[in-house]
Amino acid sequence: MLTSNYLLLLLLIPFVSALLIPVLGTRVVNAVSMAIAGLYFLVVLMGWNSWNLSFSADWYEPLGLKYSLYLDSYSYLLILLSSFLTILCLLYSWKVVEAKQKAYHSLFHLLQATVVACLLSEDLVFFYVFWEAMLIPMYFIIGVWGGPRRLYATMKFFLFTFSGSILMLIGLICLYVFFYQQTGVWTASFEVLREHFQSHPLPFYIEQLIFMSFVVSFAIKVPLFPFHTWLPDAHVEAPTAGSVILAGVLLKMGTYGLMRFAIPMFPAAAASFATPLSVLSVVGIILGAVVAWRQSDIKKLIAYSSVSHLGFVTLGIFALTETSWNGAFLQMINHGITTGALFLLIGFIYDQKHSRDIERFGGLAKQLPRFSLIFIIMSLSSVGLPGTNGFIGEFMILLGSFQSEVVSKLWVVLASTGVILSAIYTLHLVQKLCFGKPAEDNSFMKDIGWKEYLLYTPLVVLVFVIGLYPKWIIAPIHETTSAIFNLMPNGMR
Amino acid sequence: MMATLISDLQLSVSIWAWPLVALAVVIAQIVFQNSRLSFLISILGLGANLIYSLWCFDLAPVQALFFGAVIFDSLTQFLNVLALFIALGCLFISSPGMFSQDNFFRVHYEQYSEFLVCLILSGFGAVVAFSANDLTCFFLGVETLAIGTYCLCGFFRTEIRSSESALKYLFIGGFSTVVLLYGIAFIYGSTGFTRFDEISRVIAAGDKPLVLMAVLFTMAGLAFKLALVPFHIYTPDVYEGAPTAVTAYLATMVKLAAVGISLRIFWSCFGAVSEVWIPFWTSLCVASIIFGNIAALQQKSLKKLLAFSSVSHAGFLGLGLLLADPSRGIGFALFSYLAIYSGMSLGVFAIVALLEDRSKVFMLEDLKGLGLAKPLYGIALAILVLGLAGIPPLAGFMIKFWIFQQLVEQSYFAVAILAALGSIVGVAYYLKILMYLFMSGDSDWGLATRWSVLRDQIFSVRSLILAAVLLSLIGGLKPDFYAHWILTTFALK
């Protein structure tokens, strides 16, 4: 049985390695960094099934701020996903990223550390601190190793997310101060605040305002329409590994924040905003899909497809049923796997051809058969073909949303058209890329080798393992979902 | 009579030790004609004073000294300690310029003792100003501070920018002094007293029609010193032209003095009519945060950018002042902001001083590639700049957090939101600095080589930078060490 020190270990390993890597010799950086990432993944795996651990230490005692950590299956699965994707990213970057390797690896570990800290935190201020701190490594990863318009993209990324979160800070401080004014105790502990404001509700409009301050911040990160405009820029300019982490982990922080903090804190306010927010999700689903269809830059296409897919996730969240939440959370994981894999695959051909223009490819199925096979599997998973992981997630979201009491069925029906649209743009991409006549000579391109096998095999395996036998992952998800729903007032369930 | 005078002198050693150090420097210069010796004497003298002040830090009840002219309470002692830190920091910053082999500085090397004397004496002025309990004493302090800074700004007398800076500061400073004096005249005219405690008694007792005029003029005079919008117009030119050590001095010591005296004037004298000045003062502060940041965004010169950034920080200091109502026993946000902001600013200016080439304006572009050529300095500057921007988990975030928290606690919701929006703009230009540091490609960084030959080995500045970086890091992760000191000093909760 693991003790609470395990959480400390989870938190400290990436921090320490981020500090350790810069002092290593240049030659061993890659190996050591990957070894640490692998080790970390094993450490995370060890914690399977031992959630509900907690840890607490004083940060600033007079104002009741604590470094308090709590692990449930939500945060556990996302930490697992993040540590898994980090290994793949570092493996991918091996021999691809040659410039400033120490800083690169150090920043990835730092990013991992801040993400884990954010996922583990139970204290709202502590959460906020790492929610913001997460931006710094990503800012540098995009800005230093990114494409030609990286400065614009990274600035936009930072400012968008920062603007949202500073409003959340005000909302969060309001909660923190109101609690003090009502009880005379300073604390930012989520559980304590939640319990208190459930039994002593604030005036409803204040609840709504604070809820919205949280939602705006999370929605920008997700990103929910109309806050999505930073995402295509950031994705296009980010280095491949940066895109993978951005899509696979950072976007999930937004939906995680909604599920873990914003909605459990103010279920009533959430229900009152369910319709507008789910409409925005549906708009995101359809708009993202249509825009993705018209893209010629492959990375931009996948970025817009992320907007569309995460629209499903937010729809599931705002539908406020247990099934849709389970589906939404599963879809978060799926999206991390599938989109992460797609970005890695695009990165693989981009590194050879230095182009992402969809028109300049074609007929890759003949030249790169193994690549094309994996690409097609991942695309089908992204479409949500039965048998793949994407199907389970989308199905559960739609099923759950259809039973919802707060979201009209009309919106769910409209959302389901997103599934068709996603088939259109994804198959369009597959067709342009893998089939037909090549637009120009691609004969110099090499098919995937052992390193890429190592990269893609686990992802392909996961697609089918989740697609064919989802129970192993849905069971732990459901545990936390039902725990959260049990605490909500009766009208919500 | 004599006995009280002697005991007063004993108590206030840490105040009158300042001019004593200056005197020692003057004598040493006359006898030995050695600038290095003078520097050593100033450092040792101020250092000894600092140690003595910390050693004798006395939390006994308020003591009015010298027949009520000076008040030696915990505020005086606290600000005195900070002032000593700042003066030492500015001396350290000035040292590389003075001791380098650079021709430009050698010309001014002969007069370095004058620089030291001016700096120490104007620091003495600051201490007198914020420890004053009497309008005359207060005005003498303000003038001593101001005259010293005029001389310091024009210290590089052969250089046109330095002279411009001094002249502009002299004119505008002189004008602000007149306005302040006019306000003082109104105070005296309407109450008939010069002692703060008596003034406050009279104001509290009854309706004084002239009090509004007194408040407005005094406020305008103090806003000039603190450089709040719209009284900030002199800052860009003055800050840019002045020697960098002096710029640091203006951004820290003058603001410290202004905050100290405003605290006394507003809360001790005008505490009873707080509803009169609070709306004016709040609008000045909010305007400073917003316009200071917007103006900083437009700057291409690094020192002008820092000048406008100091305007926006002055706005936060002003908000801290607003919250420091002594009757409620809260001033924690203000004092921690003052301490941490000063420390981080000194660090930034120390780096600027190391890099600076006095023969031309220091543009932001000159920072290009510094992070790659000199990673340690790049990282140090990045940490300090992110700290000033208020990005967690650095100390700069904690101080903003406390300001926001107390704003919410005292129900200044709109102010909190406007200040938060203003600080989003602020982040943009701080990020611009990081962009030049790390993301502008490997340009030929001529300055880097020149500087690494000339001034890399200066221990005093490097230790100052290190201290500032540590303050920024530890102050965010474990704020107890300074917070505890502030809390016990002011007997806060």
Segment A31-82, tens digit of pLDDT: 888 899 999 999 888 888 887 888 888 888 778 888 888 888 888 999 999 9
Q: Hey, of A162, A165, A168, which one would you mutate to test binding to chain B, going by the most B CBs within 10 A of its CB?
A: A162
Contact residues, chain A, for B416 at CB < 8 Å:
170, 173
Task: Answer whether A136 sits within 8 Å of B386, measured CB to CB.
Answer: yes
CA distance B471 to chain A (A): 16
- Please check whether residue A115 lies inside any domain of the structure: no
Predicted local distance difference test score (pLDDT) of residue B315: 93
Size of interface A-B (CB pairs under 8 A): 89
Which chain A residues are Cβ-neighbours of B420 within 8 angstroms?
Answer: 166-167, 169-170
Among A195-199, B97-101, B225-229, whose mean pLDDT is lowest? B97-101
Establish if A493 belongs to a structural domain: yes
Per the prediction, chain B carries an average pLDDT of 85
Span B356-362, mean pLDDT? 77
Q: How many CB atoms lie within 10 A of CB B60?
A: 9
Tokens found for residue A4: 């609470």
Return d(Cα A91, Cα B314) in angstroms, integer: 48
Kindly determine whether residue A60 and residue B480, on different chains, have CB atoms separated by under 8 Å. yes
Q: How far A101 CA lies from chain B's nearest CA (Å)?
A: 12
Q: How far is B275 from chain A (nearest CA, A)?
A: 23
Query: Rounded distance, CA A37 to CA A29, Å?
Result: 12
In the predicted model, what is the mean pLDDT of residues A7-17? 88
CA distance A28 to A48: 31
Q: Of A159-168, A220-229, B450-459, which gets the smallest average pLDDT?
A: B450-459
A305 domain residue, yes or no: yes
Decide if A485 is inside a domain: yes
Read off the pLDDT band of B446 (50, 70, 90). low
Matching residue, tokens 């009309």: A410
- pLDDT of B492 reads 61
Report ipTM (2 d.p.): 0.87
Whether residue A138 is contained in a domain is answered as no
pLDDT 10s digits, A287-346: 999 998 888 888 889 999 999 999 999 999 998 888 899 999 999 999 999 999 999 988
Q: Which 3 state secondary structure label does DSSP give B71?
A: strand
Token pair of A374, please? 């994996």
Give the model's pLDDT for residue B86: 94
Euclidean distance between CA atoms A272 and A324, whole angstroms: 18
What's the structural domain count of chain B? 1
Minimal C-alpha gap between A215 and chain B (Å)? 16
Instruction: Name the band, by pLDDT with cuts 50, 70 and 90, for residue B107.
Output: low
* CB-CB neighbors (< 8 A) of B397 in chain A: 129, 132
**In this structure, are residues A59 and A65 in contact, taking their beta carbons and an 8 Å threshold?**
yes
Interface probe with B: pick from A58, A116, A132, most Cβ of B within 10 Å: A132
Q: What residues contact B317, with CB distance under 8 A and at least 6 apart?
A: B226, B255, B259, B334, B337, B338, B341
Nearest Cα to A121, choosing from B394, A488, A63, A113? A113
Nearest to A163 among B424, B478, B493 (CB): B424
Distance from CA of A28 to the nearest CA of B (A): 20
Give the distance from residue A14's alpha carbon to the nearest chain B alpha carbon, in angstroms: 16
Q: Which two tokens stand for residue A36?
A: 């640490």
SS3 sequence of chain A: CCCCHHHHHHHHHHHHHHHHHHHCCCCCHHHHHHHHHHHHHHHHHHCCCCCCEEEEEEEEHHHCEEEEEEECHHHHHHHHHHHHHHHHHHHHHCCCCCCCHHHHHHHHHHHHHHHHHHHHECEHHHHHHHHHHCHHHHHHHHHHHCCCCHHHHHHHHHHHHHHHHHHHHHHHHHHHHHHHHHHCCCCCEHHHHHHHHHHCCCCHHHHHHHHHHHHHHHHHHCCCCCCCCHHHHHHHHCCHHHHHHHHHHHHHHHHHHHHHHHHHHCHHHHHHCHHHHHHHHHHHHHHHHHHHHCCCEHHHHHHHHHHHHHHHHHHHHHHCCHHHHHHHHHHHHHHHHHHHHHHHHHHHHHHHHCCCEHHHCCCHHHHCHHHHHHHHHHHHHHHCCCCCHHHHHHHHHHHHHHCCCCCCHHHHHHHHHHHHHHHHHHHHHHHHHHCCCCCCCCCCCCCCCHHHHHHHHHHHHHHHHHHHCCHHHHHHHHHHHHHHHHHCCHHHC
Q: Tell me how far apart the alpha carbons of residues A308 and A284 are, in angstroms, rounded to a whole number.
A: 6
Distance from CA of A419 to the nearest CA of B (A): 38
Q: What mean pLDDT do residues B116-120 have?
A: 92
Q: Is the peptide bond before A223 cis (omega within 30 degrees of 0)?
A: yes
- Asked if A130's CB is within 8 angstroms of B393's CB, the reply is yes
**Which 3 state secondary structure label does DSSP give B239?**
helix
pLDDT at B326 over 90: no
Cβ contacts of B375 on chain A, cutoff 8 Å? 103
Q: Beta partners for A69? A: A55, A121
Q: Name the domain count of chain A.
A: 1
Question: Residues of B with CB below 8 A from A169's CB?
Answer: 401, 404, 420
Separation CA A100–CA A154 (nearest Å): 18
Residue A53 lies in a domain: no
| pLDDT-derived band at A1, boundaries 50, 70, 90 | low
What's at B305, amino acid-wise? L
% of chain B at pLDDT higher than 70: 91
B393 CB neighbours in chain A (<8 A) are: 129-130, 133
Residue A228 token pair: 């999505």
Q: Assess whether pLDDT exceeds 90 at residue A467.
A: no
Instruction: Write out pLDDT tens, residues A336-393.
Output: 999 999 999 888 888 888 888 888 887 787 888 888 888 899 999 988 888 888 888 8
pLDDT category at B488 given cuts 50, 70, 90 is confident
Q: Is the pLDDT of residue B33 over 90?
A: no
For chain A, give the mean pLDDT.
Answer: 87
Region A422-439 average pLDDT: 85
Of A136, A151, A166, the CB nearest to B424: A166
What is the tens place of the pLDDT at every residue in A21-45?
A: 888 877 888 888 889 999 999 988 8
Domain interval for residue A350: 273-493
Q: What is the pLDDT, as a whole number, of residue B454? A: 46
* Mutation site for B-interface testing, chosen from A58, A106, A163, A172 by largest number of B Cβ within 10 Å: A163
What's residue B445's pLDDT? Answer: 53
A264 preceded by a cis bond (ω within 30 of 0): no
* pLDDT above 50: residue A276: yes
With 80 as the cut, is the pLDDT of residue B330 above it? no
Residues B392, A129: C-beta atoms closer than 8 Å: yes
Residue A30 within any structural domain of the chain: no
Supply the range of the domain harboring residue B102.
Answer: 2-489
**Residue A101, pLDDT above cutoff 90:** no
Give the pLDDT of residue B308.
Answer: 93
* pTM for the predicted model, two decimal places: 0.90
Residues of chain A contacting residue B405, judged by C-beta atoms under 8 Å apart: 63, 173, 176-177
Interface test with A, best of B336, B340, B409 (most A CBs within 10 A): B409
Contact A158 B372 (CB under 8 A): no
In B42-174 the beta strands, taken as DSSP E runs, fall at: 64-65, 70-71
* Preferred mutation among B435, B436, B482, B485 to probe A, highest tally of A CBs within 10 A: B435
Chain A residues with CB-CB distance to B434 below 8 A: 139-140, 143
Interface list for chain A against chain B, based on CB atoms closer than 8 Å: 59-63, 100, 103, 125, 128-130, 132-133, 135-136, 139-140, 143-144, 150-151, 154-155, 158-159, 162-163, 166-167, 169-170, 173-174, 176-177, 180-181
SS3 (DSSP) at B250: helix
> Which residue among A103, A155, A180 sits closest to B431, beta carbon to beta carbon?
A155
The pLDDT confidence band at residue B108, using thresholds 50, 70 and 90, is low
Q: What pLDDT is stored for residue B307 in this prediction?
A: 93
In a domain, residue A436? The reply is: yes
**Dihedral angle, C-alpha A273, A278, A279, A285, nearest 10 °:** 160
**What pLDDT, in 10s, does the model give residues A124-180?**
888 998 998 898 899 988 888 888 888 888 888 888 888 888 888 999 898 888 888
Indicate yes or no: CB of B401 within 8 angstroms of CB of A173: yes
pLDDT for B127 beyond 90: yes
Report the pLDDT value the prediction gives residue B99, as an integer from 0 to 100.
Answer: 59
Task: Give the lowest-confidence range in B43-57, B90-104, B276-290, B420-434.
Answer: B90-104
Min Cα distance B437 → chain A (Å) is 10
